[in-house]
Structure 1
Amino acid sequence: MPTSYSDATVPVHRLFEAFGAGNMDGILSVLAENITIKAGNPEYASKVPWYGTYQGQSSAQDFFTGLASNVETEAFAVEDLVGDGSLAFASGHLRHRIPATGRVFESDWALRCEVADGKITHYQFFEDTAAAQDAFA
């Protein structure tokens, strides 16, 4: 999976493992207290429940709980995970079924994280926002 390792990739890799296992304590353990999460386009938060900006660990927990409760993950592949200094980048492909509609949301994705002292301080996830909206329509 990883193209290159750095200290910045370690918490990102642990985040993927914890989220895949449904381990909220594991997720929170790699997030800084003052984490900023940006997911999708906040303009579409009324259509895609996890879209928006989240500040702090409590809000981050809301983000990850909201994401997990609104999708049934059929596939989530991390194809690349690279880091340099305090930055980590990951990319891959996902396929989620949306229980509320029964529709499938499939997209390539990218993630940019900033890391300090072994914790993720900034998390920004990119995906096909039009496809996500369609899956909830």
Structure 2
Amino acid sequence: MKTPVETIELFLANTTNPDVIESIVDANATYISLNFNNPELQKIMPWAGTHHEGATGFINTFAGVNDFWTIQAFEVQDIFSENEKVAVFGSFTYTSRSLNKQVTSPFSILAKVKEGKIYHFMFMEDTFATAGSFRVTPAGTFQSDPKATEFTL
């Protein structure tokens, strides 16, 4: 049986292979993509949010990513585990297929693996940057600093 790290490495090397994903993802697995539940972000990236569909959530997420972007690079910089928990840190570079805008983002993953099956997977990235690769008009008007004036991006 593979170690938890080996299981996650196998998944990351086969994100577009449904047969491999189905073989290493528990039927009741939870996949958290970018946030728990953000309807605005789901309009931009429909796979965002929490999925409780086992392998289907993983397959649909990575199919969506590959439909929306061309992947130039996906690099794992660190991966380590403690018992069932696996942490992964790295970066990726994607180009949006709709607008041909390139973005580079850090990412992090917290995964949990038991008996060779992934049962929890949380993928985080710079969603402001990645959603921005689909931006046609300015992002909007913001006021983050309570002592400053608003500004437009």
Q: Decide: shared fold, TM above 0.5.
A: yes
Partner of 1:36: 30
> Structure with the greater relative contact order (CA < 8 A, sep ≥ 6): 1 or 2?
1
Aligned residues of 2:21 and 2:58 also touching (Cα < 8 A):
no
TM-score of the superposed pair, with normalisation by structure 1: 0.87
Alpha-carbon shift at residue 50 of structure 1 (Å): 2.8
Residue 45 of structure 1 aligns to a residue whose secondary structure is helix
| CA gap 1:76/1:13 in 2 versus in 1, 3 angstroms | same
Distance in 2 (CA, whole Å) between partners of 1:108 and 1:59 is 22
Alignment RMSD: 1.5
Residue 16 of structure 2 corresponds to residue 17 of structure 1: no
Aligned residues of 1:111 and 1:125 also touching (Cα < 8 A):
yes
TM-score of the superposed pair, with normalisation by structure 2: 0.79
Alpha-carbon shift at residue 37 of structure 1 (Å): 0.6
Q: Which has the higher helix share?
A: 1
Aligned length: 130
Q: Which ranges of structure 2 fall in alignment gaps of 5 or more residues?
A: 136-153
Deviation digits for residues 67-104 of structure 1 (CA, Å, limit 9, x no counterpart): 22111100110111101101000111100011012111
Residue 46 of structure 2 corresponds to residue 52 of structure 1: no
Q: Which ranges of structure 1 fall in alignment gaps of 5 or more residues?
A: 1-5
Percent of aligned positions with the same letter in both sequences? Answer: 23
Runs of 4+ aligned residues of structure 1 deviating over 3 Å after TM superposition are none
